[in-house]
Amino acid sequence: MAKWFNNFLVKTVPMAPKFMVGLVAKKYVSGETLQDAVRVIRDLNAKGFTASSDVLGEHIHDLSETELPLEMYLDLTETISSEQIDSNVSLKLTQLGLEIDSDRTWENFEKILVKIKEQDNFLRIDMEDSALTDVTLEFFKRAKSIYKNVGFVIQSYLHRSEKDIRNFLSPGINVRVCKGIYKESPDIAFQDPVKIRENFLLLVKLLLENDGYAAIATHDLIIIDACEKYIKSNNIPADRYEFQALYGVPIHNTLKRLVSDGHTVRIYVPYGKDWYPYSMRRLKENPDLAGYIFKDFFNIKSK
């Protein structure tokens, strides 16, 4: 019954006033400004977590719209260094113009990459829908020839993901493994949650068995438990992997335990004015959150 109700809430949220969706944003977004992100990251660092910061926004429709996110990413990179906070940087290529002009996107991306290199930080290229997988991986390959501390993301629901990882396998290759949230055809993506989970574990093991670095990005407690057991039974060094979670996802006790057990845990900390579409995606990905927010809003105590 609870699952049905949560799914119902997700379907009706688009009809709700924007301020109500803001309740989601407060749980998942650090704020609208870089200063908000710095405050949240500093607090996370004090609790033993590291971070990955991201400027919200994607799928721009005019190249002039790339100017602001480019400036914001350059500021973010500089601020991480000057404020001495423990965070790397994540970005989406469509925010820099990928769906309009690949060459212009590379110009924007390279400016950020060079700044990241100057600060000796790490840059994660986020993966978007499957139509952009090939070009995203090409950007990674090109970026890797300029700077070694670059990684990409693989989505375990795509049939192609094992092959993609094998194509890039090399010592130290850094891959963030997640399930994937974009709606994809059964022809190219697993639809069964069990198969998605199985493929997730296969991809993590593939990386760890071949001297890669696995960023285990999931809130699925079954996957977290399975990865922990695999890491322990195979004596995987702590510098070969990390666990990752979205800021605000309600598995904080698990994340604290992972840190106390000696695992690196990185929290994804987004900020910016585009919190509405981001929050809507988070709701669709995790319908249970809608139930949590509904209870919080009406002060309903969980049993």
- The single residue of 54, 124, 164, 176 carrying the catalytic annotation is 176
Residue 148 DSSP class: S
Distance between CA 24 and CA 293 in Å, rounded? 7
The whole-model pTM stands at 0.88
**Looking at per-residue confidence, does 182 or 48 come out higher?**
48
Q: Is 176 a catalytic residue?
A: yes
Domain boundaries, the chain: 30-271
Q: Which of 54, 124, 126, 164 is catalytic?
A: 126
Amino acid 104 reads R
Strands 241-246 and 213-217: parallel
Q: How many CA atoms lie within 13 A of 262 on its CB side?
A: 8
Instruction: Give me the half-sphere count of Cα atoms (radius 13 Å) on the Cβ side of residue 71.
Output: 7
For 29-47, the pLDDT digits (tens) are: 888 999 999 999 999 999 9
Asked which of 31-40, 93-102, 292-301 is least confident by mean pLDDT, the reply is: 292-301
DSSP for 105-153, please give it.
Answer: HHHHHHHHHHHHHHTT--EEE----GGGHHHHHHHHHHHHTT-S-EEEE
The fold of 30-271 is: TIM Barrel (3.20.20)
